[in-house]
Structure 1
Amino acid sequence: MIFTLLTIFSMPQTLPSDGLPVPQRYGAILAIALGITVAVLDGAIANVALPTIARDLQASPAASIWIVNAYQLAIIVSLLSLSFLGDILGYRRVYQCGLVVFTCTSLFCALSDSLGMLTFARVLQGFGGAALMSVNTALIRIIYPQRYLGRGMGINSLIVAVSTAAGPTVAAAVLSVASWQWLFLINVPVGLGALFLAFRFLPDNPQKASEQRFDIPSAIMNALTFGLLISALSGFAQGQSGKLVAAELVALVVIGVVFIRRQLRLPVPLLPVDLLRIPVFSLSLGTSVCSFCAQMLAMVSLPFFLQTVLHRDEVATGLLLTPWPLATMVMAPIAGRLIERYHAGLLGAIGLGCFAIGLFSLALLPASPDNWSIIWRMMICGAGFGLFQSPNNHTIISSAPRHRSGGASGMLGTARLLGQTSGAALVALMFNLFSDQGTHASLLLAGGFSTLAAIVSALRLTQPGPQQKAG
């Protein structure tokens, strides 16, 4: 129904052979920026508000965790299915539909008066967020001329990285002046603005894979496979029953094997195993998973260290974490231009090496560090991460055939979410294993993952970059 309405009321923009003209390009990228900002932020801001929401809705702390988990699970189980629909129906249409769902369900979240109602609203909101995340980079590939694609990826990487890192700070700022409902209400005007821009400026696919058929059994198995993976990871990290975790792992292996075997038989699979046969594509995805796991290990554990060990208050904690996204904000657009001249494997290895240095230096902080000692380490982490992310995303998208951009975009988002979810689960595991030294262990593990990601990135130097292939 939503797809039909969007078709009736929106007028597809004409698409030049290579990207959009400048005025339309700016409007299109702004539509994507606004949508992705609220979708990524909503994955992080609810964490800070959980105690307040639980108290207001008279829910236990353990039960309130589902406010966060429901959103993340809905995204990860539907991301690849929605990116596949983007290849068939058009990335523009899927993105517009996602904006409608996300905006309406944000209002639903704000009006919820029970934990069950809010959890259900968050599931629906997660599906809207998944639609936005599934095709955003595929749209950028259409919006920007091939020679400037790195710049578009730089902007997108900047938005994702800053939104992820700034989530707790934004939430604390909103809660200091308003109730928790406003964390969701502010999405409504932003979503409506993005929807207007999407109708006005977003282009249609230059070619749709209309001959492809959406495989419902694959979509169901995809949802079960990723849902069981995340549930088993989180359950193990939080010390749930060993029998339950083991049962989830057995189900994961059985369903996962059947799922992958089915994908191998399909001419155009929902899980793009055909794209994974491209070496630079699969190496870039591995780099992305490891790096986002490292990022989440640090960003989730550091607030505990700053508040419980160093006794900084919430405002000081937010300010000390801010240099990280600020450094990323500066570096990501620069990296987007550097990819036009240098191999992504080299830029990624250098950036992730700097990221690892920053993480290990945070793990080796003195017992009573001054603020500057924390700030410069945060800046190294943010700059290194920013130097890596834009070229890596550029490589993932441009190494796939143009008509498979949706599948590549979905895999990029899935890799990020898998890394972030695994990182958050590992933080819980580190705190369970090492108690007071949980942050120290998390940062050392994060440095290890970043070092591994740098090595995997360097392996790409043996592969020609997408821009070299195009030439």
Structure 2
Amino acid sequence: MPDVRVASPQGKWILLTTVMGSSMAMLDSTVVNVALPRIGEDLDTDLAALQWTVNAYMLTLAGLILLGGSLGDHYGRRKVFVIGVVWFAIASLLCGLAPSAEVLIAARALQGIGGALLTPGSLALIQASFHPDDRGRAVGLWSGFGGIGAAVGPFLGGWLVDGPGWRWVFLLNVPLALACVPIALRHVPESADGRSHGRFDVLGAFLGALSLALVTYALIEARTGTLAVVVTAVAGVAAGIAFVLVERRRPDPMMPPKIFASRQFTAINLVTLCVYAAFSGFFFLAVLQLQVVAGYSALGAGTALLPTTILMLLFSARSGELGARIGPRIPLTVGPLFCAAGLLLMLRVGPDASYLTDVLPALLVLGLGMVTLVAPLTATVLASVDAARAGLASGINNAAARAAGLIAVAALPLVVGMSEDAYRSPDALDQAFGRAMLVCAGILVVGSVVAFATVRRPPPDCRRPECLTHGSVTAPPLEPGAKSSGRLE
């Protein structure tokens, strides 16, 4: 039985290294958006390259995160975590030194692989190291500090972009990794799942990532109207169908189709797709709108977005408690509507927008909606399957949220008619941003309707601190035990 106590020196070192490791991945999910206008200007690139700068990371992370958790369970959580941190740092160095957009995009894809290795292991190390009596407190501290990191991310990113330059958004990960790895090797005990049988669904992970990559490419390049786009789109759909067929026939699939026999689980993942697609589309375009149209600096744009994460950190616990009392249906119906209202208020943000009267009210309403829905959503995911499958359910939900964000960033500029150089023109971007907010608000309303029509069974009291002190706006929290288990081929 794990016997490390939170108050012990070893316990503090374990918390420090896991927070540092997970913060690397979490920061890169939030700070890069703030740097996009400067990256485009410095590398003289078009909107498609900026989309890929975001999506290359999300693509490999979403496609491999379930496999990463399984590798840690079998080969050792500390070992895979450390490999992930080192991999992430090397990829970050490549991002910071990238001489062109193509090199930056490739390095971002490598970053996502590192994130898929370290993200599941961070929380799993805490669960496997601390004494059961201290485990809840340790997870709460880890989640709380991680949430603070998520809140600081846009501010830090803006400060770096305006100061030493956008490359330091990536280079900052290198000293963090240099501090994190020795602490992990010295103070974190190794752990593994003795029940793990060493068979991994590599084929399923490959097909899933390939399908996402091809569909994403087709959406981003669709405005060119070439035959290659059509062929890629068809190939992406075919890869998705092949993924489903493979998962149905394997004895130990990465994403068992039987888990979707739960109507509640299927419904809550549909809500997740709607909610996080809208969130990702908003945060991708909002920093462009604030900088290019409203004239904010990178630091100003990053700081402007802080209220949403701060509200989640302060009030998610109360929202989770309310959801446990009244059931998830009302929070998951009302929350997306609040978020939609916040996005509609963002239509007031134009040239020379006032932060206090135009930007802040929209972000407060959006943050209120996030507070209302995120903790009950996570609790409902975990309650919709039996306890033995809670980790798998959480992993699928987390991957679904990231995939939704990936597709949204690829599709939204196409849907609203943004040109390749729209982010360089305040007038063109302002018009496209207005249309995009209407689309995102509509997606949130669809999510609200789905929740009202399908979510029924109330979850039990969610005592998992990571549900209630979650601060990330890019994906729901990942419960340990999220793993794939197909045969290695």
Check if 1:214 corresponds to 2:208. Answer: no
Q: Which residue of 1 aligns with 2:314?
A: 330
Query: What do the CA deviations read for 1:234-258 (whole angstroms, capped 9, x no partner)?
Result: 333xx13253332122112222222
Which structure 2 residues correspond to residues 12-31 of structure 1 after superposition, within 5 A? 14-15=1-2, 21-23=5-7, 28=14, 30-31=16-17
Check if 1:282 corresponds to 2:266. Answer: yes
Q: Which residue of 2 aligns with 1:225?
A: 211
Distance 1:22 1:286, change over 3 A: farther
Q: Which residue of 1 aligns with 2:371?
A: 386
Q: Which residue of 1 aligns with 2:417?
A: 432
Q: Find the partner of 1:247 among 209, 231, 239.
A: 231
Q: Which residue of 1 aligns with 2:68?
A: 82
Q: Which residue of 1 aligns with 2:251?
A: 267
- Structure 2 counterpart SS, 1:268: coil
Q: Find the partner of 1:189 among 175, 194, 197.
A: 175
Which structure 2 residues correspond to residues 333-352 of structure 1 after superposition, within 5 A? 333-338=317-322, 341-352=325-336
Q: Which residue of 1 aligns with 2:91?
A: 105
Structure 1 distance, partners of 2:112, 2:189, is 22
Structure 2 distance, partners of 1:259, 1:458, is 30
- Structure 1 counterpart SS, 2:417: helix
Query: What do the CA deviations read for 1:88-131 (whole angstroms, capped 9, x no partner)?
Result: 44555433331232133333444555666544433322210122
Structure 2 distance, partners of 1:263, 1:153, is 34
CA contact (8 A) 1:154 1:333 kept: no
Structure 2 distance, partners of 1:154, 1:358, is 30
Check if 1:204 corresponds to 2:191. Answer: yes
Which structure 2 residues correspond to residues 275-314 of structure 1 after superposition, within 5 A? 275-314=259-298
- Structure 2 counterpart SS, 1:214: coil
CA contact (8 A) 1:344 1:395 kept: yes
Q: TM-score, normalised by structure 2?
A: 0.76
Structure 2 distance, partners of 1:440, 1:307, is 15
Distance 1:162 1:296, change over 3 A: farther
- Structure 1 counterpart SS, 2:224: coil
CA contact (8 A) 2:316 2:375 kept: yes
Distance 1:260 1:103, change over 3 A: same
Structure 2 distance, partners of 1:177, 1:408, is 42
Structure 1 distance, partners of 2:460, 2:127, is 13
* AA aligned opposite 1:178: P
* AA aligned opposite 1:300: F
Structure 1 distance, partners of 2:24, 2:92, is 10
CA contact (8 A) 1:288 1:415 kept: yes
Distance 1:321 1:370, change over 3 A: same
Query: What do the CA deviations read for 1:37-60 (whole angstroms, capped 9, x no partner)?
Result: 22132244344445655676x664
- Structure 2 counterpart SS, 1:432: coil
Distance 1:114 1:391, change over 3 A: same
CA contact (8 A) 1:83 1:407 kept: no
CA contact (8 A) 1:134 1:409 kept: no
* AA aligned opposite 1:250: V
Superposed CA RMSD in Å reads: 3.9
Structure 2 distance, partners of 1:152, 1:27, is 14
Pairwise CA distance, 1:86: 4.0
Structure 2 distance, partners of 1:285, 1:150, is 28
* AA aligned opposite 2:450: V
- Structure 2 counterpart SS, 1:465: coil
Which structure 2 residues correspond to residues 402-421 of structure 1 after superposition, within 5 A? 404=389, 407-421=392-406
CA contact (8 A) 1:102 1:128 kept: yes
The runs of 5 or more residues in structure 2 that have no matched partner are 420-427, 463-489
Pairwise CA distance, 1:381: 0.7
Distance 1:449 1:51, change over 3 A: closer
